[in-house]
Structure 1
Amino acid sequence: MTNIATLDLYDEETEEAESTRPPIKLARFADDWSVADWVVGSGSVLLALASAGFFTWSFVVSIRSPDYFQEAALANMPPKTDKIETGSLDMANAMPAPQIVRLREPTADDYQIVMVFKDEALLATRNELMRVKVGSVVPGLGSIRSITLGPSSPVIVAENATLRSAPATP
């Protein structure tokens, strides 16, 4: 039968030998680093790992769906609509427009064609000069239906009248 007291692992000689042995160091810098050094070092390692992970993710996504990032960017962009053309201005923020005050509404006889260029024309009355295009509403003429530059003179067809310019005399 074995005596349990003889199997004791504690020995005075081994204790003295272990106490004189230097402690195990993980690295030379471990004792010299402050808390701030550990925070900055750990943060740098985490940033490097996160960057590598993001690069890997974005690379895989761009390989699987090449238009993913472009579609995501376009989905978040507001539409390029001109609020003045669409008439969607807020009334509180709308700039007041000057009111045109006339002694009387002009008639078709009051208009003269000054100039025609592309699909627009300049019309003149005694007191006003107007730039019109197809679809414009002109007082006395109504809606402009067509603007043509004929062989001898321009012709503007409106809802209430047709304007022709006298041919130029040499």
Structure 2
Amino acid sequence: MAKLCPKEKAFCLTKALQGQCYGNSIKAETLKRTCPCACDVAHFDRIQSCCKTVGRREMEFCLPLCRYNTTLNELNTSLGYKCVSQLTTWAYCAADVRDNTACCTQKGIAPDCLSFCKGDVPTCDLQSLFTYQPCLRYIETITHCHMENLLSAPRWDPNWAARCDWDESD
């Protein structure tokens, strides 16, 4: 992290590694403003760790989109379209096993899109996923809700797997 954030003070790196960048407490918000690079790296490492662990190996090329700061423009690229089946994994990892519906509702997210706020996009059937296209315009607000409700320790289950309609395992 020190190599990625050479201009930030040592305490930034220490506090970020201790998990103090997560959540929406005054302390966390102050640290995010004071140490933006270290906190961004901490958030990136956390969601990447989840996506790498629970995501499908054959879809590793989608990892560049597994971030808290993925934009609508990035999702509307060819990579975004190739990775649409990974929305289930990304939503799970971004939410970190927390239902952030209250935050999303307060910020005006459409009711049809609240499954993203729960981290539970119900299917990875491609046709069904395309019905979520209108929700992508809310993606930055949804990820903001996820980020402000993160705890210092991750809660995602390393054994979790996206349940897809075409899966026969159970």
Q: TM-score range by the shorter chain?
A: under 0.3
TM-score normalised to structure 2 length: 0.17
TM-score normalised to structure 1 length: 0.17
Q: Which has the higher helix share?
A: 2
Q: Which has the higher strand share?
A: 1
Comparing both chains, which one has the higher relative contact order based on Cα–Cα distances under 8 Å and sequence gaps of 6 or more?
Answer: 2
